Amino acid sequence: MVYGESQSIVKARPYESTQMLNEYDPSEDIAALRALISQFKGNLPNRVDPASLTWVSKIPWKAVNLREALLYRITELGESAIDLYEKQNRIISAYIITRAVHETTALFYSFYLRLKKVTDDQSITDFDEFIMKLLFGFKNDKDFPGAINILNAVDKLDKLIDGFRYNYDLLSEFCHPNYSGVLGAYAVTNK
């Protein structure tokens, strides 16, 4: 095996041996993603004024804050993933961040579905609790609302976008220190 950037005849390059990237030219996809990120950046607010929404309930203010924070997160992570992939050839880092974009997108979609249900049914039953979990969810601290299970959100979005869960699972293979994220990424067999 040859690891890293050794001086031997065979140099390891991330994913040189993976079939997934061998025949794929990402230039069109990257250009489309950069355009989308640019649109997001152009629409990010500097502040959210709670008084402009309502004086009666905190729920609209929480919902707007959640929406804007998710957009900021998707924008930053998306831009970082593209830069890591394209400019620095940091494939594993790009994949890990891309998985975070998938998770954020899935969470955003769950939020959208719940908000649509509230507006369609004209009922906010449990909506505040749901928003509080999205805003302040924490897995291991009893002083915070419990975090939501992101895989449930991923599965909801998979119903709309065929293959979303498959792609999420594939990205997860590169995020974990198993074959794809370690040996498959950084070593090739020197025959």
Q: How confident is the model at residue 8 (pLDDT cuts 50, 70, 90)?
A: very low
Assess whether pLDDT exceeds 80 at residue 28. Answer: yes
The average pLDDT across 35-60 equals: 78
Summarize pLDDT for 67-115 with one digit per residue, the tens: 999 999 999 999 999 999 888 778 899 999 999 999 999 999 999 999 9
Summarize pLDDT for 153-167 with one digit per residue, the tens: 999 999 999 999 999
Going by C-alpha positions, the residue among 127, 132, 134 that lies closest to residue 108 is: 134
CA gap 78, 82 in Å, rounded: 6
Tell me which residue has tokens 């769950």.
Answer: 110
CA gap 78, 68 in Å, rounded: 15
DSSP string, 12-66: P-TTTT-HHHHT---HHHHHHHHHHHHHHHHT--S---GGGT-SS-SHHHHHHHH
At 151 the pLDDT is 96
| H/E stretch holding 181 | none
At 123 the pLDDT is 82
DSSP-derived letter for residue 11 is: P
Summarize pLDDT for 122-149 with one digit per residue, the tens: 888 789 899 999 999 998 898 999 888 9
Q: Which residues contact 40 (CB under 8 A, 6 or more apart)?
A: 71, 74, 75, 78
- Report the 10 Å Cβ neighbour count for 61: 17
Q: Which residue has the higher pLDDT, 14 or 64?
A: 64
Q: Which residues contact 113 (CB under 8 A, 6 or more apart)?
A: 156
The average pLDDT across 8-22 equals: 42
